[in-house]
């Protein structure tokens, strides 16, 4: 089969790889109909995630047709069109039983670091992802969900990560009616976090980014106040001035370790790898939120340390909440929001490319070319 093939930082290509097969009675093999490139795939592409091995296939956002199932699989069958959460979860461990499917203790040999994730380095279990014609799906009775007849597959594929991650960012923030919510990052997750903040009762939503075309998109889509941080002298001072000196009620980091905006953070985090990525969004969030406020983190950082102003967290009484999205827990609520028209995931898709254009797709998405918000890869498309 054809699959994306990681060859090292900034180098991916399409290669012939062996067909995936049933390796366990709870496995399924899915023929991919759509897969996305996620902003967090760029952390892999840029060589920022430890133990990302040459030869790996990325892609944790995908949907497809079930081709084969193992002897123990009962809830899906060949022919079903399913969306597959990016979390690989057993459904039975201590954490899955609490609905923490992103923290499954069985799907990854390094589970103390993170649960299993499709196509996201051997730190996350070493599973190949869905930027391919076929993919092996473990625990097929737990993760995959049959796509409702009325749902557009373009909406479905975005329910595998970007929508639940943005939604959970707002959920973890504990937004109260009338709150001022600041989102750092106008990528797809930041856009969705801004949109979902309104569902929780926000009174004002502000988004910072450095790309005007993305700010224009989120201004219309969320809708939100938007600011280019390159045109603001000091983000923290700006936020204090625009909130009567108090700070925002909630700040959301939707960027992670690839962030721009501070040379020292970029040098030590992105270039020299002395910390787990640039932590400038965390600095802005911690210093812009009000005393007693909440910082919600869904931006992806590596498992090593970051330089953050922890003293300010203590002295301001800030609550920090963070996690990988628990997709399976959130899906019923999000499907209802899509059905009622509260959120329109597919509106974020700006580019649809065939799988054999995967190298060009990564370059376009990473370099923010051609107004790219969200690229979707379609095998045989």
Is the predicted pLDDT of residue 327 greater than 90, yes or no? yes
* Tokens of residue 172, six digits: 């973890």
pLDDT given at position 331: 98
d(CA 305, CA 293): 23
d(CA 71, CA 90): 16
* pTM metric for this prediction: 0.96
Angle at 266 between CA 207 and CA 360, to 5 degrees: 75
CA 18 to chain centroid, in Å, comes to 28
Number of helices and strands (H, E) in the chain? 11, 17
> What is the sign of the dihedral through the CA atoms of 47, 49, 53 and 55?
negative
* Tokens of residue 262, six digits: 């501070």
Residue found under tokens 């790889």? 17
The candidate with the shortest Cα–Cα distance to 320, out of 278, 289, 276, is 289
- Over residues 152-166, the pLDDT tens digits come to 999 999 999 999 999
Lowest mean pLDDT among 59-68, 253-262, 308-317, 369-378: 253-262
Q: Coil, strand or helix: which one is 290?
A: strand
> What is the sign of the dihedral through the CA atoms of 11, 17, 19 and 22?
negative
* Tokens of residue 157, six digits: 């594929």
* Tokens of residue 357, six digits: 């254009």
* Tokens of residue 99, six digits: 């609905």
Report DSSP letters for 61-118, one per residue: -EEEEEEEE-TT--S--TT-EEEE-SEE--SSSTTGGGT-GGG-SSS-TTTTT--EEB
Outline where DSSP puts E strands in the chain.
Answer: 2-8, 11-16, 28-36, 62-69, 81-84, 87-88, 116-117, 134-137, 145-146, 180-184, 204-209, 225-228, 248-253, 289-297, 319-322, 351-354, 375-378
- Residue 214: strand pairing partners: none
Per-residue confidence band for 381, with pLDDT thresholds at 50, 70 and 90 = low
The candidate with the shortest Cα–Cα distance to 257, out of 46, 114, 112, is 46
Average pLDDT over residues 84-98: 97
The proportion of the chain whose per-residue pLDDT surpasses 90, expressed as a percent, equals: 90
Q: Coil, strand or helix: which one is 7?
A: strand
Whole-number Cα distances in Å, 47 to 301, 353, 366: 12, 24, 13
Contact partners, residue 98, CB within 8 Å, separation at least 6: none
Average pLDDT over residues 27-36: 98
Per-residue confidence band for 251, with pLDDT thresholds at 50, 70 and 90 = very high
Whole-number Cα distances in Å, 179 to 2, 90, 164, 299: 48, 37, 21, 21
Residue found under tokens 């991919």? 32
CB atoms within 10 A of CB 77: 11
Residue found under tokens 């975005």? 158
- Over residues 101-147, the pLDDT tens digits come to 999 999 998 878 789 999 999 999 999 999 999 999 999 999 999 99
Instruction: Yes or no: say if 187 and 211 are a contact pair by the CB < 8 Å rule.
Output: no
pLDDT given at position 26: 98
């Amino acid at each position: 089969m054809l699959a994306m093939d990681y060859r090292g930082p900034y180098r991916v290509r399409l290669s012939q790889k062996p067909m995936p097969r049933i390796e366990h009675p709870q496995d399924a093999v899915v023929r991919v109909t759509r897969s996305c490139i996620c902003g967090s795939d760029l952390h892999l592409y840029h060589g920022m995630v430890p133990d990302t091995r040459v030869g790996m296939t990325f892609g944790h956002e995908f949907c497809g047709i079930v081709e084969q199932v193992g002897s123990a699989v009962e809830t899906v069958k060949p022919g079903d069109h399913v969306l597959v959460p990016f979390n690989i979860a057993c459904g039975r461990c201590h954490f899955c039983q609490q609905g923490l499917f992103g923290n499954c203790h069985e799907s990854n040999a390094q589970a103390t670091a993170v649960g299993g994730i499709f196509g996201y380095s051997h730190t996350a279990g070493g599973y190949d992802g869905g930027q391919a014609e076929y993919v092996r799906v473990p625990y097929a009775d737990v993760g995959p969900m049959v796509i409702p007849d009325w749902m557009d597959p373009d909406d479905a594929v975005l329910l595998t990560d970007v929508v639940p991650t943005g939604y959970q960012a707002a959920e973890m923030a504990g937004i109260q009616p009338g709150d001022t919510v600041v989102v750092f990052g106008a990528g797809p997750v930041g856009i969705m976090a801004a949109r979902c903040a309104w569902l929780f009762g926000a009174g004002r939503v502000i988004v910072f980014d450095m790309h005007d075309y993305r700010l224009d998109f989120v201004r219309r889509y969320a809708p939100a106040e938007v600011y280019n941080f390159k045109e603001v002298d000091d983000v923290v001072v700006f936020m204090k001035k625009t909130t009567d000196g108090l700070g925002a009620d909630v700040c959301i980091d939707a960027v992670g370790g690839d962030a721009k905006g501070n040379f020292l953070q970029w040098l030590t985090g992105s270039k020299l790898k002395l910390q787990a990525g640039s932590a400038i969004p965390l600095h802005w969030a911690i210093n812009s939120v009000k005393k007693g406020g909440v910082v919600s983190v869904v931006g992806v950082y590596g498992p090593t340390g970051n330089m953050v102003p922890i003293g300010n967290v203590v002295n301001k009484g800030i609550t920090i909440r963070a996690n990988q999205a628990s997709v399976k827990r959130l899906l019923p609520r999000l499907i209802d929001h899509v059905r009622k028209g509260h959120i329109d995931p597919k509106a974020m898709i700006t580019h649809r490319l065939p799988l054999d254009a995967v190298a060009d797709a990564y370059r376009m998405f990473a370099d923010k070319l051609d107004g790219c918000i969200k690229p979707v890869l379609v095998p045989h498309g």
